[in-house]
Amino acid sequence: MQTLREFTRKTKRGNILKIVREHYLRDDIGCGSDLCQYCFQNEAYQLTSNHEIKSSLFKYPHYIVLDTNVVLDQIDVLEEDVFHNVIVLTTVLNEVKHKSSSIYKRINEIIHDRTRNFYVFVNEHHKDTYADREPDETANDRNDRAIRMATKWYDSHLQTSQESKVFQRSGRTATRVILLSDDAGNRAKAEAEGILVCPAADYVKSLEDFPLLVDKLAHKSFENEKQALPQYPPHLSMKELLEGFRQKKLLQGAFQASRENYLEGSVNVESYEKAILIQGRESLNRAVDGDLVAVELLPENEWSAPSEIVLEEKNVYADDVPSEDRVEQEKEMLQQLQVAPVSERTPTGRIVGIVRRKWRQYCGILQPSLIEDTTRHIFVPADRKIPRIRIETRQADKLQNQRIIVTIDSWPRNSRYPHGHFVRSLGPLGNMATENEVILLEHDVPHCKFSEEVLSFLPKMPWSITAEDYAKRVDLRDLYICSVDPPGCTDIDDALHCRELPNGNLEVGVHIADVSHFIRPGNALDKEAAARGTTVYLVGKRIDMVPELLSSNLCSLVGGVERFAFSCIWELDKEANVLAKRFHKSVIKSKRAMTYEEAQVLIDDASQNDEITKSLRNLNRLAKILKKRRMDNGALVLASPEIRFQVDSETHEPLEVEAKQMRDTNSMVEEFMLLANITVAQHIANEFTECAVLRRHPKPPPTNFDPLVKAARYQGFEVLTDTGLELSHSLDKCVKADNPYFNMMIRILTTRCMMQAVYFISGSLQKEEFFHYGLAAPIYTHFTSPIRRYSDIMVHRLLAASIGADSTYAQLLERKSNEEICNNLNYRHKMAQYAGRASVALNTHLFFRGKEEDEEGYVLFVRKNALQVLIPKYGLEGTLYLKGDKDGKDGLERTKSEVIFTFNEEDHTQRCGNVVFHSFDPVTVRLSLDSSNVQHEKLVFRLVKPYIKGFSVELNSETDTDQPPAKKMNKQRKRNKDDEI
């Protein structure tokens, strides 16, 4: 059966276009119920009599039809294994798909779980349930009518089947169909049409066997809530926002909350070099980190400077009434900032509307309430960027000392905090598995098990290389190829070889795991890898981008096993000049998989002279030449503090902690990976001028270097930042004979000045913008780690297509879709870095639990109320607060009457009496763990030396010596440039 759908559309020129489309209706679409005697069921029954929900509102068997708003608002409730025999209409699915892709994915996962009995009914193509749009009817009203129509048809259709004598003799109660809708207007119309209808919240509350399910209901407002006075300005309507954007009175950008000051944030706007500063609760106006917001720029005389104050919100309760102390604290901070020097002021604005929310699920803890038997509680997120959230729960006692997940539902003007609801508990506080789960969730790291669909695209085991494979590839199994990696590495991406040629030159090969052979474009495995973007490394745990069969087995270039590789091979002269290059897919057999330390031992051992050792020595010599050439061109040697943990194999808790070490072999591998990446980047950019996947590192704006320049100038060094070469040479000169860590600290500060390196598509930028500042390379990409980075898989496919080793496909050359993938990869890469740092912090806390240690350190930089201190022994840094407060913010009660610190804006110093703190000054600090805040345990730094009476730790006579004991310090390891920039 065929019908016509007619609708009109207005063109850009203002003409009205009438569009007519054919729409086919069928009479063979089954209802999916085992009660039905009439429908042809083209699959197993999904609506069965085996699952009956006991409801005090509907005391008979029933099926449920969901309205769109119920799916969008109550997805957390629907995910519970309580709801069965649910009918999901295609009208609803289409609406959900257009309004929220994440919820659409979640409802689809429930539908595909056959045990849940969720049945998709194609009502838009059923002859009895299709609703044609009437004249002057809105699309929303038409969809509501289609949902009511389908519900009514289902109910009457099933009643017809249940009127048979066989059914009546069975003595069973007739099954009805109920519509769940939170739209009051739709409910009223449904009741008028004789449809059984109910709000989702009322239905959940009627489920006698699941009383705690009520906690998961989304709340726009709380019941019996007193109407408090507005605490925030109103948001502009979407119409007003669009008009403001059109007239350029408003700016649009992503809001970033400050982690250190809850009264501050910024908005990144494309047309502004610096982010727009937002300060004060009213100016923040209910924006949550990640939201797309509309900003009104303040007049220039009202601009402010970013505060260097570390400000955390104190304990608050669900009364929502701000205390006088808190209000005074907010006013004091804003007054201090308004008198900032004009030179330090930056564009400042206020948020006037929300374009799009980016709310997600948040991990944290429930704050104990002062009121007994209350259901309203304050949830404190683990992420300091997120505001506290008000929730209702009846299981507060059970959830104390548990990590829980909460989501935000709304943020009314009259509420200091957003309203949300409880989703689920993760486990007990402090448990390693629970805390790792929190890190992964908070950094949006996909870490669920690979689905059966994804695993179905893996090679069937046992897998072996066939004769056809050998014929298509270059056989390099006889070469003395080896890999050099960190200890314990099982996902070995790369291997190297070097041999002398008859003409006296050297042949060097970088052989990279051929992951793209196993992951074919467009299948479920490829989509999952693209979504994950990167492998994430936590302490003692790895979250793979691809299933373990590939990452640690078939793709990993383990020693003594034949593996597929993508080889980049050069002919070099003795001075490391590239004379020729070639790329091909190959079969290799690594002769040995070594650690950096094992490779270094071979190089240094004069008694060793086998082929592998000779290869390593040649590679090491060439790498030093390549590195010097890069440095001479202006490449930067940056640094960041890194820690290595020895982890207990059973408890997974840290046994020992130390700074990571750097050897020549680290640099050797790095240099050839960089050379391979640059060589491949040049090739694919020439072959695919519009769609090559590249990586660039933008030059930082001059203002980024201000803290570095000021700190170095005080120490007597001039750091020039006009070009990368000047900066590189300046950093090399920053050496102090009496401070072996000075140069490393200068480089750590330089790293903080850098921009984030990003993936991009070649056709989206001019060639001058391809430049990689950190490496001083005109063009760069990532080719060498396809097991753990999806960008490298994309590059492998481009390279393979260019040399005829693999066929091309449409999406490979689609710039727009590849730009979207690059945006996701940039986000995933950044989140993976943050997750890794959070894991290091967690394990550092575990290591120092119950310990106190005095350690030598250095002031990295000076803030208005704190010193940032580096401890070289452990490669960690932390904050030494200089101003205590009456709540004992840093875990110590201090009297402020005797100790007054004065911050000097000009030279960034702190003075207390005769003691002055500058950047890079040596200090001795006592390290201990403050567990008073169970949510945010933190490493406390307390000053030991220089001694300040009333502030420093009081030492007893045995330990109070003039000089701290000498300690053996480990060398600091730089981050691998291939990963970091």
What domains, with CATH codes, occur in the chain? 31-205 (3.40.50.1010), 219-318+339-429 (2.40.50.690), 452-694+775-831 (no CATH), 849-885+900-945 (2.40.50.140)
Q: Render pLDDT for 506-552 as a digit per residue (tens, 0 to 9).
A: 999 999 999 999 999 999 999 999 999 999 998 888 999 999 999 99
Report which DSSP code applies to 605: -
Q: 């330089």: which residue's tokens? A: 750
Strands 852-862 and 922-930: antiparallel
pLDDT confidence of residue 543:
93
| Burial of 902: CB neighbours in 10 Å, binned 0-12, 13-18, 19+ | exposed
Q: Taking the C-alpha atoms of 894, 899, 903 and 908 in order, what is their torsion angle to the nearest 10 degrees? A: -90
Find tokens 């009741």 and name the residue. Answer: 191
Q: Report which DSSP code applies to 632.
A: H
Report the alpha-carbon distance of residue 266 to residue 278 in Å, rounded: 5
Cα 168 to the chain's mean position, in Å? 57
Angle at alpha carbon of residue 335, lines to 333 and 337, rounded to 5°? 70
Reference 628, options 638, 616, 619, 637; nearest CA is: 637
Query: In the 8-state DSSP scheme, what is residue 549?
Result: I
pTM, two decimal places: 0.79
What's the rounded Cα separation, in Å, for the pair 8 and 17?
A: 5
Distance CA 266, CA 250 (A): 15
Instruction: Quote the pLDDT of residue 872.
Output: 80
Nearest C-alpha neighbor of 63 from the set 93, 97, 36, 96 = 36
Contact at 8 Å (CB) between 527 and 573?
no
- Nearest Cα residue to 782 out of 605, 959, 533: 533
pLDDT tens column, 309-322: 667 666 555 444 45
Q: Which residues in the chain show pLDDT less than 50?
A: 318-321, 884-897, 957-980
pLDDT at 843: 83
Tell me, what DSSP letter sits at residue 368? P
Cα angle for residues 508, 514, 515 (degrees, 5° grid): 145
For position 325, what pLDDT does the model report? 55
Backbone angles phi, psi at 405, to 5 degrees: -115, 135
